[in-house]
Amino acid sequence: MKKILSSAVFAASALVAFSSTAATIQAIVPFPAGGPLDLVARIVTAQMQQTSGDVFVVDNRGGANGMIGARAAAGGAVNGSSLLFADGAMVTVNPRLYPRDPAFDAERDLKVVAAVAFQPAVLVVNTSVPVKSLKDFIAYAKDKRLDYASGGLGSQGHLTMAAFAGAAGLDMTHVPYKGGAPAMNDLVGGQVPAAFVGVAGAMGFIKSGRLKALAVSGDQRIPAMPDVPTVSEAGLPGFVMQGAYFVMVPSKTPDAVVKTLEQRVLAAASDKQAQQKLRDLGLDAKTMDRAASERWLATERQRMGKLIADHGIKAE
């Protein structure tokens, strides 16, 4: 019978106990169902359930830019039965944007287990914008001083365009929306000309010819759009901006438990079928173990902190 992590017993030495009875694992997603992070959580937990026999329950707790769900996860069980699927921005961006909350500190109250996927953004323009390449866009934006849309202050689209504009020497005007959907609607409708957006939400519009894709912000091309170059390839060498999706647990979870979870999460996220599903969402299906994840988050904390300070970005 397959071994699983017990939901009840830990030795004093923090060694993981195992049980022959299937456990119920809560996987909190701090955003509504149907978004990229929710889909990632469902792909990874479905694979973990298939291989372990445990029952995974995805619990969507949206609100306050992910903080409600994150707080709930931080106060969850420390025996491996309470997981948080989180965007790295929870740790790298939010603490630099929002007032400090004494009751919850993501860096203090959460512990990373592994990264399961990366999310680059794609620079898209309305079809009325007379450009065909990234170099065309940079020249056009320098001449016209364009507006750009995002899903809100401090969102991936906002920070990616801020970094891009700084690197390209552009003076652009940010138009924040209350979420990615209304931003996409106005982008397709021509009310705003450009944006860095999530690949999954944009692919249908790109393939139907309603938006033009100029470049992706990650470190490699996306299999779902192999003809779209990276920003680095297309005109700004070295430019990389992408989010990452992590599994996290309460900070008091013993390291032995985290190690077991790390192995199981990485095995699930590395499964060929799971990886294809992630790529179909326009994600980069790379994983990182706990140590690499901690290094990535530490680097991004400094990078995002500088970007936010340099551009004077403040949450309203």
Q: What CATH number is associated with residue 42?
A: 3.40.190.150
In a domain, 164, yes or no: yes
Task: Answer yes or no: is 316 within a domain.
Answer: no
Same domain, 69 and 168: no
Domain assignment present for 254: yes
Give the range of the structural domain holding residue 48, as residue numbers without chain letter: 4-118+243-310
Residues 112 and 252 in one domain: yes
The verdict on 202 and 136 lying in the same domain is yes
| Domain endpoint, select from 234, 260, 283 | 234
Residue 315 lies in a domain: no
Q: Say if residue 142 is in the same domain as residue 114.
A: no
Same domain, 255 and 108: yes
249 and 105 part of one domain: yes
User: Are the beta carbons of 24 and 59 closer than 8 angstroms?
Assistant: no
Instruction: Identify whether residues 148 and 222 lie together within a single domain.
Output: yes
Check whether residue 113 and residue 202 sit in a common domain: no
* Domain boundary pick from 215, 234, 253: 234
Task: Specify whether 124 is located in the same domain as 104.
Answer: no
Q: What is the pLDDT of residue 21?
A: 65
CB 110 within 8 A of CB 84: yes
Structure-block tokens of residue 81: 């039965």
Residue 6 is predicted with a pLDDT of 38
In angstroms, the CA 29 to CA 33 distance is: 8
Among 210, 234, 258, give the residue marking a domain's end. 234
Per-residue pLDDT of the chain (316 residues; tens, 9 = 90+): 433 333 333 433 333 333 446 799 999 999 989 889 999 999 999 999 999 999 999 999 988 778 899 999 999 999 999 999 999 999 999 998 888 888 899 999 999 999 999 999 999 999 999 999 999 999 999 999 999 999 999 999 999 999 999 999 999 999 999 888 899 999 999 999 999 999 988 999 999 999 999 999 999 999 889 999 999 999 999 999 999 999 999 999 999 999 999 999 999 999 999 999 999 999 999 999 999 999 999 999 999 999 999 999 887 6
Whether 113 and 52 share a structural domain: yes
pTM of the model: 0.89
Helix-strand-coil split of the chain, %, nearest 5: 40, 25, 35
**Are 157 and 21 in a shared domain?**
no
The enclosing domain of 226 has a CATH number of 3.40.190.10
Residues of the chain with pLDDT > 90, as a percent, come to: 79
Residue 285 inside a domain? The answer is: yes
Which residues, in sequence order, are CB contacts of 26 under 8 Å at separation 6+?
57, 59, 76, 77, 81, 82, 83
Give me the number of domains the chain comprises.
Answer: 2
Q: Coil, helix or strand for 108?
A: helix
Rg of the Cα atoms in the chain: 20
Question: Do residues 133 and 227 share a domain?
Answer: yes
Coil vs helix vs strand at 291: helix
State how beta strands 82-87 and 24-29 pair: parallel
